[in-house]
Amino acid sequence: MNALPTDKIHIRDLALRCIIGVYAKERDAAQEVVINITLWADLARAGRSDDLADTVDYKAVKNAIIAMVEASRFQLIETLAETIAAICLAADGVAAARVLVEKPGALTGARTVGVELFRRNPE
């Protein structure tokens, strides 16, 4: 398997609302989720050219994630995280993605609960 590029793009603290949860009370109204993403990509060419065509269009990635999350009705944050990772890996130039999805207030006494995963493109 090829080594990952050392360059990264971070999307931090993307707060969205969606239907998420396994319990009936969680299925009635949208809840907040907070998403943090790291994308591994080779950014050297973009650093030299200053051209969007030479990098990952992270605004397009963010917009695709927002559209999916706000329309989703998953039971598990694991499934939400996996689907976000797939969107990230579909973007041109992304070699790998780390996705952390947190659900604030999901557990009494805890600020948040979250699922973090790492996925690579199989190139």
Active-site positions read 103
Report how far residue 16's alpha carbon sits from residue 110's, in angstroms, rounded to the nearest whole number.
19
Report how far residue 14's alpha carbon sits from residue 82's, in angstroms, rounded to the nearest whole number.
16
Closest CA to 16 of 119, 103, 108: 103
